[in-house]
């Protein structure tokens, strides 16, 4: 969204005119962001938001969506955990759960606005394997959403929460590293949801030894604070 280069037309503008033009763009940006924060009920201040690194791919995509569409419409939906059985889901007895983030497993529900999306890419990195991302997420201590929340989002009628996330943040791809599966071939993988060009949502299973780019977002929560746990 922010282009560091200056085109030839802008170079030819008088300095005071160029300043006024850029200041007007900045003021418009500030108004859009302030309105979006107020409507979405976000606890992040605009000062904190403006200090986020612009080289962050997710931040750029969020800014672009907020600029084009404004704040998310309607209150953030709640997502309720559903049971997940890999044998039943894949209709194959050779599918197993290899690893599970128990913090996600014991959660009853959460507010969709509490979701965070991580690439785990370091500066200068273009991609990372699923295993590498999983390792970094564990080190960060983030709660990795599991297959139960994948089921909740996938089974929801009309995929309303997924559409809310798409409208709010431009999300088109998210994986659930809270449940690591092992397929019949022994390869470890994770479930993911993605949005097609026609607006429909679909699911897949992504091998952990395959690279993820900046588009490969992991759905996580910062902590279990203010989240209802199962009895």
Count helices and strands (H / E) in the chain. 9, 11
- Across residues 30-49, what is the average pLDDT? 58
The 10s digit of each residue's pLDDT in 56-85 is 565 566 666 555 555 445 677 889 999 999
Q: What is the pTM of this model?
A: 0.68
Q: Are 174 and 117 in contact (CB under 8 A)?
A: yes
pLDDT score, position 136: 95
pLDDT above 90: residue 127: yes
222 has pLDDT over 50: yes
The pLDDT tens digits for 179-194 are: 999 999 999 999 999 9
Torsion sign, CA atoms 34, 36, 40, 46 = negative
Hey, where are the domains in the chain? 8-69, 78-221
- Nearest Cα to Cα of residue 114 among 231, 230, 199, 228: 228
CA 220 to chain centre: 8
Q: Report the SS3 class of residue 129.
A: strand
Share the mean pLDDT of the chain: 78
| CA 59/CA 42 separation, integer angstroms | 15
The pLDDT of residue 18 is: 47
Mean pLDDT of 43-48: 59
Q: How confident is the model at residue 53 (pLDDT cuts 50, 70, 90)?
A: low
Asked if residue 229 has pLDDT above 60, the reply is no
């Amino acid at each position: 969204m922010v282009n560091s280069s200056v085109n030839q037309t802008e170079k030819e503008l008088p300095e005071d005119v160029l300043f006024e033009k850029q200041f007007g763009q900045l003021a418009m940006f500030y108004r859009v962001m302030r309105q979006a924060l107020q409507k979405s009920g976000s606890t992040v201040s605009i000062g904190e938001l403006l200090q986020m690194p612009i080289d962050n791919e997710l931040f750029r995509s969020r800014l672009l969506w907020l600029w084009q569409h404004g704040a998310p419409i309607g209150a953030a939906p709640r997502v309720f955990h559903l049971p997940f059985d890999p044998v039943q889901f894949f209709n194959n007895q050779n599918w197993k759960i290899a690893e599970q983030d128990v913090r996600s497993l014991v959660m009853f529900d959460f507010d969709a606005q509490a979701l965070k999306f991580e690439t785990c890419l370091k500066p200068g990195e273009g991609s990372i394997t699923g295993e590498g991302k999983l390792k970094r997420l564990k080190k960060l201590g983030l709660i990795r959403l599991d297959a139960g929340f994948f089921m909740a989002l996938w089974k929801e009628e009309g995929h309303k929460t997924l559409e809310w996330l798409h409208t709010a943040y431009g999300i088109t791809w998210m994986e659930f590293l809270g449940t690591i599966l092992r397929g019949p071939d022994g390869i470890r993988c994770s479930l993911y949801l993605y949005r097609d060009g026609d607006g429909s949502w679909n699911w897949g299973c992504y091998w952990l030894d395959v690279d993820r780019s900046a588009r490969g977002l992991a759905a996580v929560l910062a902590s279990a604070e203010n989240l209802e746990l199962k009895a």
